[in-house]
A = this chain, B = another copy of it.
Amino acid sequence: VKRPRRIAAGTGREATEIWFGAGLLDGAASRLISPSGRFLLVTSRGPRAAAERIRAALGGHLLVDLEIDDREQAKTLDTAAVIADAALSAGVRRDDALVAVGGGVVSDVAGFSAAIVLRGIPWNVVPTTTGAMADAAIGGKTGVDTRQGKNLIGAFHPPRVVLADPAALEGLPEREFRAGLVEAVKAAWIGDASLARASEKTLDAVLAREQEPLLALLGGAAAVKAAIVSSDPREGDLRRLLNFGHTLGHAFEAAGGFQSLKHGEAVAWGIAAAVDLSRRRAALSRRDGERILRMLDRLGPFPEPEREPAVLEPYLLRDKKASVRGVAGILLDGIGRPKIDESIPPADWLDAAARISFAG
């Protein structure tokens, strides 16, 4: 058995130890951290098999064992309050730790509960989706949605430990598996050209869920994100690079009422638009642009996004990256060479949205 890969993110009180490897679920007791030795387990219905193995690994040391709804609609302050109430009713102390076993919704809301219970208790994540392994579980952003939008209430509260075992992906629906991989290749495109190249070669094996290439891609993506959030723990320019594909991505997602497109699928379309703009406003070569589109094409098919400019425009202008100068976006001068363009005219975004396809 190969030894797990260890990735460090953050420093001091905000340090996260990230592990990628096979067999981590059953050995969880030796890696998950609780100062008291007691844990509060929060999970959802989907990843029951993974949760069961964590439960078995932690034996009788569960103070709370709670299953929550993991649909985006349930990512609310009310759900965070339910978790907090369960923890407080069980007599949680400041040295007990939470363990979130699930995808991005579970880790976002459970992590936020950990941030506010007793003004913050330690927590751990066992991600059970490709998106959570590559992206959501890393960087300390926790939070819930409100009627005004996504992630508008939250806290920076990095987990102590992230335990990513491919066995936890068992039972993950194919569509979600593929959508999550978009965030993984996104990380390669902004931060690791050799990972991008390698993943082009291994993608068929990754899609067949072969352990080694899957771990290499997801772990590589996590390493890119960990390096960025370590240099920029809050919201500086470096961290903004992670938003590659997210300007139009968020607009596509919102225009579809968060129903028709999964987050990773919307980001895939958003990346295609950013590639189009990078050809016009940055130094991205035709060849590198085509490499990106080809990868997205292999990760799809993705449902069609809303492209009608009149429908899309209000969602684009609502973006927090919008200003009088235009709507900021992340473009590429090449694979692994991202830059921020602060002033892309809305019309250029909307034109790109109308034009994009993965056929190149």
Query: In chain A between 155 and 181, which residues have their CB closer than 8 angstroms to a CB of chain B?
Result: 155-156
Nearest B residue to A93, CB-CB: B320
| In the complex, A118 has a CB within 8 A of chain B | yes
Give CA–CA (A152, B94) in the complex, Å: 11
Residue among A119, A153, A235, A320 with most chain B CB within 10 A: A119
Scoring A residues 93 to 126 as 1 if CB is less than 8 Å from chain B, else 0, what string do you get?
A: 1100000000000000000000111111000000
One digit per residue, 1 when the CB lies within 8 angstroms of any chain B CB and 0 when it does not, for chain A 128-149 equals 0000000000000101001111
In the assembled complex, the CB of A92 is this many whole angstroms from the nearest CB of chain B, namely 9
Q: Which of B77, B117, B151, B235 contacts A152 (CB 8 A)?
A: B117
Instruction: Give the interface segment out of A58-66, A81-89, A218-226, A339-347.
Output: A81-89
CB contact under 8 A between A119 and B77, given known A94-B235, A320-B93: no
Residues 220-244 of A contacting B (Cβ, < 8 Å):
235
- Asked if residues A152 and B88 are in contact (CB atoms below 8 Å), the reply is yes
B77–A81 CB distance below 8 A: yes
**Closest approach, in angstroms, between the C-beta of A317 and any C-beta of chain B?**
12
Residues of chain B with a CB closer than 8 A to A143's CB? 119
Chain B residues, CB < 8 A from A148: 85, 88-89
Q: CA A235 – CA B35 in complex, angstroms?
A: 15
A147, B153: Cα distance in complex, Å: 22
For residue A360, CB closer than 8 A to chain B, the reply is no
Q: Is the CB of B320 within 8 A of A152?
A: no
Residues of B within 8 A of A156 (CB): 119-120
Q: Which residues of B contact A149 (CB under 8 A)?
A: 88
The residue on B at minimum CB distance from A118 is B152
Residue A4 at the B interface, CB < 8 A? no
Contact: B116 with A116, CB < 8 Å? yes
30 cross-chain CB contacts under 8 A: A77-B77, A77-B81, A84-B146, A84-B153, A85-B146, A85-B148, A88-B146, A88-B149, A88-B152, A88-B153, A89-B148, A93-B320, A94-B235, A94-B320, A115-B155, A116-B116, A116-B153, A116-B154, A116-B155, A117-B152, A117-B153, A118-B153, A118-B154, A119-B143, A119-B151, A119-B155, A119-B156, A120-B155, A120-B156, A155-B155
Kindly list the 7 A-B residue pairs having the minimum CB-CB distance in the complex, ordered from nearest: A88-B148, A119-B154, A116-B153, A88-B152, A77-B81, A84-B153, A119-B155
